[in-house]
């Protein structure tokens, strides 16, 4: 690889490659697409660009990114692992993330994974071929709800590093990206934002057996990524809530939930304290029902403009005092991806000063948008300051 021309790697949802390329080139016109596979794209950066391992792409479709250190090819995990470490050389790092570019977010990773999971053979080969002086830590279980205080496992001696653990802010993360059976890619980045600390940019959560739908995991990821500053007792309203997986997660976080959907809810969710179901479409609900709602969520299987029209009618009503939004915009066609800046501008026009978007790993062909008004920003800032004081 030409050392004067750094390369950027980006992981994304399978199918989002074209949308990702268009978004990156809109923001970074000097980047040129290079290698591409499902869920994985590299870009050639200008020779003068430095600090690519810490670059924030500001991309809704980028699940993770960093500096590409090239790739290795061969047959079998052992041979590939040996070439991997040879190419890594003396690169310093504290965490090793091993992930498959074309793999869905709901795979069974970690030490309690299925014994036939091919990722385990890759991890085992990397541990076996690890050079002397490097001591990999235990492979972490992808379970629970990691946050800023999550501490990854480390080895007892040598140069400790965790494997598939949630990285700490500022740590160097080496990535082994399984592009296909005979080719692994090598990446490096500095952990900064919370998603950049997750292996492959995938929020490490398992769907519990009692969850009524996969929306449970998606809501867990949305709350972690957005850091929506909800507190116990807050009233949330969700448009398109059936059968109730996301409501279930919110109720377990001790929030009150107003679920709005003409479809039936899971009986178990209906019995949970703090939940009320209005069996109507969002547009059919009287605006007085939203007077005490502080957080509005939407996940309806309709076109983005339909969702935005419904939400606008609610949040701009004179009786509404909704501090924050967490909206799922379904990309019924990938052509909607080019309209994302317009969608975000429209949300800002309602008085939401802070707006960001991300394609969640536990979601589908859609984008999650988080927006806050001034009151929500003040609470978010207060929570961040309190957490900082606690960590000191």
Q: What is the CATH number of the domain that holds 86?
A: 3.30.2130
Same domain, 118 and 226: no
Beta bridge partners of 186: 176
DSSP 99-118: EETT--TT---STTS-TT-H
- Residue 208 forms part of a structural domain: no
Whole-model pTM: value is: 0.88
pLDDT for the residue numbered 381: 75
Q: Average pLDDT of 11-21?
A: 97
Beta strands in 111-202 (DSSP E): 134-139, 159-163, 172-180, 183-190
Of the candidates 201, 234, 267, which is a domain's last residue? Answer: 201
pLDDT for the residue numbered 279: 98
Same domain, 196 and 229: no
pLDDT at 385 over 80: no
Q: 45 is in which domain, residue-wise?
A: 7-201
- Rounded to whole angstroms, how far apart are CA atoms 117 and 120? 6
Q: Average pLDDT of 205-232?
A: 96
Q: Average pLDDT of 322-340?
A: 96
- Residue 328 forms part of a structural domain: yes
| Phi, psi dihedral angles at 196 (to 5 degrees) | -70, -10
What Å distances lie between residue 6 and 51, 252, 281, CA to CA? 10, 46, 51
pLDDT for the residue numbered 382: 62
- Residue 105: pLDDT band (50, 70, 90) is low
184-212: pLDDT as tens digits: 999 999 999 999 999 999 999 989 999 99
Query: In terms of pLDDT, which residue wins out, 147 or 63?
Result: 63
Q: Both tokens of residue 218?
A: 């998606």
- Rounded to whole angstroms, how far apart are CA atoms 360 and 367? 7
Mean pLDDT score of the chain:
88
Q: 128, 183, 191, 135: which is closest to 159 by C-alpha?
A: 135
pLDDT at 378 over 70: yes
Of the candidates 201, 228, 259, which is a domain's last residue? Answer: 201
- Residue 377: pLDDT band (50, 70, 90) is confident
Report the Cα–Cα distance between both ends of the chain, in Å, rounded. Answer: 43
Same domain, 219 and 173: no
- Residue 156: pLDDT band (50, 70, 90) is very low
DSSP 317-340: STT----EEEEEEE-SSGGGGGGH
Same domain, 220 and 194: no
pLDDT at 388 over 70: no
**SS3 of 313, please?**
helix
pLDDT for the residue numbered 47: 85
Pair 22, 338: CB distance under 8 Å: yes
DSSP 194-222: SGGGSGGG-------TT-SSTHHHHHHHH
Beta bridge partners of 73: 183
Same domain, 238 and 190: no
Q: Average pLDDT of 167-188?
A: 96
- Rounded to whole angstroms, how far apart are CA atoms 222 and 357? 10
Q: 379, 326, 384, 334: which is closest to 357 by C-alpha?
A: 326
Q: Average pLDDT of 320-334?
A: 96
107-126: pLDDT as tens digits: 444 434 455 577 889 999 99
- Residue 282 forms part of a structural domain: yes
Same domain, 288 and 338: yes
pLDDT for the residue numbered 144: 33
Domains in the chain, number: 2
Q: Both tokens of residue 159?
A: 């140069």
pLDDT for the residue numbered 106: 56
pLDDT for the residue numbered 135: 53
pLDDT for the residue numbered 390: 33
pLDDT for the residue numbered 6: 92
Q: Both tokens of residue 70?
A: 């090239």
Beta bridge partners of 298: 239, 327
- Residue 304: pLDDT band (50, 70, 90) is very high
Q: Both tokens of residue 63?
A: 């699940």
Q: Both tokens of residue 39?
A: 């869920």
pLDDT for the residue numbered 50: 80
- Residue 77: pLDDT band (50, 70, 90) is very high
Same domain, 50 and 109: yes
pLDDT at 180 over 50: yes
Same domain, 268 and 185: no
pLDDT for the residue numbered 3: 53
pLDDT for the residue numbered 157: 29
Same domain, 190 and 220: no
- Rounded to whole angstroms, how far apart are CA atoms 34 and 39? 14
- Rounded to whole angstroms, how far apart are CA atoms 335 and 308? 17
- Residue 160: pLDDT band (50, 70, 90) is low
Same domain, 233 and 180: no
Q: Average pLDDT of 21-41?
A: 95
Same domain, 281 and 179: no
Q: Mark 160-195 as b/e (b = at least 16 C-beta within 10 Å).
A: bbbbbbbbbeebbbbbbbbbeeeebbbbbbbbeebb
| Phi, psi dihedral angles at 221 (to 5 degrees) | -65, -40
- Residue 1 forms part of a structural domain: no
- Beta-carbon contacts of 341 under 8 Å, excluding residues fewer than 6 positions away, are none
Q: How many CB atoms lie within 10 A of CB 342?
A: 12
């Amino acid at each position: 690889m030409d050392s004067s021309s750094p390369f950027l790697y980006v992981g994304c949802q399978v199918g989002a490659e074209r949308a990702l390329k268009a978004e990156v080139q809109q923001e970074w016109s000097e980047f040129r697409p290079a290698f591409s596979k499902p869920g994985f794209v590299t870009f050639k950066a200008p020779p003068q660009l430095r600090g690519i391992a810490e670059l924030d792409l500001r991309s809704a479709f980028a699940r993770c990114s960093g500096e590409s250190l090239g790739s290795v090819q061969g047959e079998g995990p052992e041979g590939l692992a040996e070439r991997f470490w040879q190419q890594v050389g003396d690169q310093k790092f504290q965490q090793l993330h091993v992930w498959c570019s074309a793999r869905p977010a709901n795979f069974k990773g970690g030490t309690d994974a299925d014994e036939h999971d091919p990722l385990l053979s890759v991890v085992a080969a990397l541990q076996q071929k690890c050079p002397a002086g490097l001591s990999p830590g235990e492979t972490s279980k992808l379970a629970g709800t990691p946050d800023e205080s999550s501490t990854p496992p480390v080895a007892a001696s040598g140069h400790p590093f965790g494997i598939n653990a949630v990285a700490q802010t500022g740590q160097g993360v080496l990535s082994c990206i399984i592009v296909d059976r005979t080719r692994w890619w090598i990446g490096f980045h500095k952990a900064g934002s919370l998603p950049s600390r997750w292996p492959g940019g995938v929020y490490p959560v398992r769907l519990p057996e009692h969850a009524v739908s996969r929306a449970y995991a998606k809501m867990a990821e949305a709350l972690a990524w957005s850091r929506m500053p909800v507190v116990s007792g807050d009233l949330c309203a969700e448009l398109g809530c059936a059968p109730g997986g996301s409501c279930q997660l919110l109720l377990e976080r001790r929030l009150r939930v107003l679920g709005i959907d003409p479809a039936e809810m899971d009986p178990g969710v209906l019995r949970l304290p703090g939940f009320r179901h209005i069996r109507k479409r969002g547009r059919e609900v009287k605006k007085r029902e939203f007077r005490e709602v502080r957080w509005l969520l939407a996940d309806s299987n309709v076109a983005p403009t339909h969702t935005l029209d419904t939400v606008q009618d609610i949040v701009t009503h004179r009786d509404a005092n909704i501090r924050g939004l967490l909206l799922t915009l379904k990309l019924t066609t990938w052509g909607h991806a080019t309209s994302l800046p317009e969608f975000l501008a429209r949300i800002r026009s309602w008085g939401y000063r802070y707006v960001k978007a991300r394609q969640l790993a536990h979601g589908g062909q859609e984008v999650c948008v988080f927006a806050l008004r001034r009151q929500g920003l003040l609470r978010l800032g207060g929570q961040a300051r309190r957490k900082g004081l606690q960590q000191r």
